[in-house]
Chains A and B, each alone.
Chain A
Amino acid sequence: MKILVCITHVPDTTSRIAFTDGDTKFDTNGVQFIIGPYDDYALARAVELKEQSGGSITVLNVGGAESEPTIRKALAIGADDAIRVNAEPTDSLFVAAEIANVAKDGGYDLILMGRESIDFNGGMVHGMVGEILGIPSISPVMTLDIEGDTAKMSREIEGGKEYLEVKMPFVAGCQEPIAEWKIPNMRGIMSARTKPLNVVEPSSNQSGTKLEKYEMPPAKGAVKMIDADNVGELVSLLKNEAKVI
């Protein structure tokens, strides 16, 4: 089974968000970048599937050279080789078009990625890739098992779960608890150094949106502290001031 896992290179979940250049650029100062947490789940499941039934895992990132440590980490976790599309991702459509371009002749049985990136939270790339390639796309996928040429999955829906079956190939946007996150071991880290990381140039320049500027939410007012012995005051404030009960 050939699996393509698409990963994002995103700020660590603990990052404080700030912008520079007149609020048009993300401030990377002091920020650590990681594999997108949802993509980490997709990669972990790919590694488990490979362990069960063999095959190969190619990891793909659309990003500049600064993504390479993140890609190497994915190789250390268990991907066999990597492709970096050498371009600054501008929007979902741009990324999806580049993924689809790599995938179209790759003969992948399975294209996995996170349900969304944790920077732009678009949640759109998997669907776009599926549509461009003319194959099914399912998201957010919580469990994924392969039996022959059929995948059995469950998908989160508001207030419940949906169980589905689909024949490969297809695209899945993944989330927990699809697999246990994998932490690279020393052997993986050493072998990742020599695994192939191929850099390709972008195939097109598709985009549907143009960023005008970033904005921070308005500063929060000071918290109103209430004595623990006077919860009635909280009830009154929620009723009369916040008007939420």
Chain B
Amino acid sequence: MSSILVFVESAEGAVKKTSLEAVCYAKGMGGDVTVIAFGNEVSESELSDLGKYGASKVLHVNDEKYNKGVIQAYASVIADAMEKEGADVLVLANSSLGNPVSARVAVKVDASLVSNVTELPDTSAGFKVKRSIYTGKAFANVDLTKDKKILAIKKNAAEVKEVGGSATVEPFAASAPDGDFSTNITKTEKATGEILLPEAELVVSGGRGLKGPENWGMIEELAKTLGAATGCSKPVSDMDWRPHHEHVGQTGVKVSPQLYIAVGISGAIQHLAGVNSSKNIVVINKDPEAPFFKAADYGIVGDAFEVVPKLTEALKAAK
């Protein structure tokens, strides 16, 4: 592998965990890892720290204009950086920004693009990667046939581990044409003080078995005790018991945490599709025939209203 460019995203001055995963993935491929980062809210020391994860150089577009993720402008600058750096591979996180940006870069630089990548490439014959399809119900092994390749890495598919020292940070002169800024981002609303569901390591979800939104306090208490994000099944968000952005499933948020606790969720196939990449699944349901038990690692048949508070207390006691 000659040269790999990694696009990292940052929020509130910190590089996102999914982007650290992308850097570690790139390091795992071997070769030289250069990072490109945008905006003046992320500090040089934060970027220099990317060396710990395997980056040797960081190209910093240190410009306020790039604080907001304008898809077209990011794509133009990344394509330019790939050319200037002679990078034949771009690695990034499969995210709400990474996906649309990578699609445009792929057309600009004439690259093969694969999203939802779950493993390192096999380059013994061609350039083959494994990707998740059918919302985690299956995988496809695909060969990237163009000279340039772009890989969007599925969340939690690469382990974040420290391997090195610090990276040099260089300014990178952005070159996006004015037309790229025709999309005007007028406002950003950030959920504060919450653990973000798509990136969470631990998730506690509730379903119709909770009987009503007034009973969510015990789910939130369990989540708080664990340091987990909260989620819900589709019927629950359809009934407005919980906000749409907590809907986990095939047409909602797909999660791949270390631990997924499902309370009062029967396990419809569409819900399972959104959680089947979880490393460990705990199911709490009073119906012993609930299909979710077949997909679970650990199960408790019992009334959520009795089991959940007891579990929360036991977790507190174990701390």
In the assembled complex, B120 has its CB within 8 A of some CB on chain A:
no
From A11, A38, A160, A164, give the contact of B191 (CB < 8 A): A160
A208: nearest chain-B partner, CB-CB: B112
Chain A interface mostly:
mixed
In the assembled complex, B175 has its CB within 8 A of some CB on chain A:
no
> A224-B298, A232-B318 given. 4 additional CB < 8 A pairs?
A139-B99, A166-B183, A210-B145, A224-B297
Would you call A131 and B107 a contact (CB within 8 A)? yes
From A93, A173, A225, give the contact of B100 (CB < 8 A): A173
Given the complex, which residues of B lie within 8 Å of A91, measured CB to CB?
142
Minimal beta-carbon separation of A55 from chain B (angstroms): 22
Within 8 A of A (CB), among B108-123: 108, 111-116
Chain B interface mostly:
mixed
Minimal beta-carbon separation of A99 from chain B (angstroms): 12
From B11, B100, B186, B244, give the contact of A176 (CB < 8 A): B244
Within 8 A of B (CB), among A68-86: none
> How many residues on chain A are close to B (CB under 8 Å)?
81
A165 to B98, CA, bound (A): 20
In the assembled complex, B84 has its CB within 8 A of some CB on chain A:
no
Minimal beta-carbon separation of B52 from chain A (angstroms): 23
Would you call B133 and A158 a contact (CB within 8 A)? no
Would you call A128 and B145 a contact (CB within 8 A)? no
Minimal beta-carbon separation of A147 from chain B (angstroms): 13
- A163 and B259 in contact, given A214-B139, A217-B276 (Cβ under 8 angstroms): no
Interface residues as binary, B90-116 with A (CB distance below 8 Å gives 1, 0 otherwise): 000011110111111011100111111
Minimal beta-carbon separation of B182 from chain A (angstroms): 6
Given the complex, which residues of A lie within 8 Å of B113, measured CB to CB?
92-93, 124, 208-209
Would you call B106 and A244 a contact (CB within 8 A)? no
Would you call B96 and A156 a contact (CB within 8 A)? yes
Given the complex, which residues of B lie within 8 Å of A214, measured CB to CB?
133, 138-141
Q: Can you list 21 pairs linking A and B with CB atoms under 8 Å apart?
A: A13-B269, A14-B269, A38-B251, A121-B132, A124-B115, A131-B104, A138-B71, A139-B100, A140-B96, A158-B18, A159-B194, A162-B185, A165-B184, A208-B144, A213-B141, A214-B140, A223-B297, A228-B306, A231-B300, A238-B259, A244-B279
Would you call A245 and B315 a contact (CB within 8 A)? yes
In the assembled complex, B282 has its CB within 8 A of some CB on chain A:
yes
Interface residues as binary, A225-245 with B (CB distance below 8 Å gives 1, 0 otherwise): 111100110111111001011
A→B interface (CB under 8 Å): 11, 13-17, 19, 37-38, 91-93, 96, 118-128, 130-132, 136-140, 142, 155-167, 170, 173, 175-177, 207-217, 220-221, 223-228, 231-232, 234-239, 242, 244-245
Given the complex, which residues of A lie within 8 Å of B104, measured CB to CB?
127-128, 130-131, 137
Given the complex, which residues of B lie within 8 Å of A160, measured CB to CB?
188-191
Minimal beta-carbon separation of A206 from chain B (angstroms): 10
From A118, A124, A175, A225, give the contact of B300 (CB < 8 A): A225
Given the complex, which residues of A lie within 8 Å of B194, measured CB to CB?
159
Interface residues as binary, B270-292 with A (CB distance below 8 Å gives 1, 0 otherwise): 10010010011011000000000
Would you call B135 and A118 a contact (CB within 8 A)? yes
Would you call A158 and B198 a contact (CB within 8 A)? yes
Given the complex, which residues of B lie within 8 Å of A242, measured CB to CB?
259, 279-280, 297-298
A92 to B116, CA, bound (A): 13
Would you call B300 and A226 a contact (CB within 8 A)? yes
Given the complex, which residues of A lie within 8 Å of B279, measured CB to CB?
242, 244
Would you call A13 and B187 a contact (CB within 8 A)? no
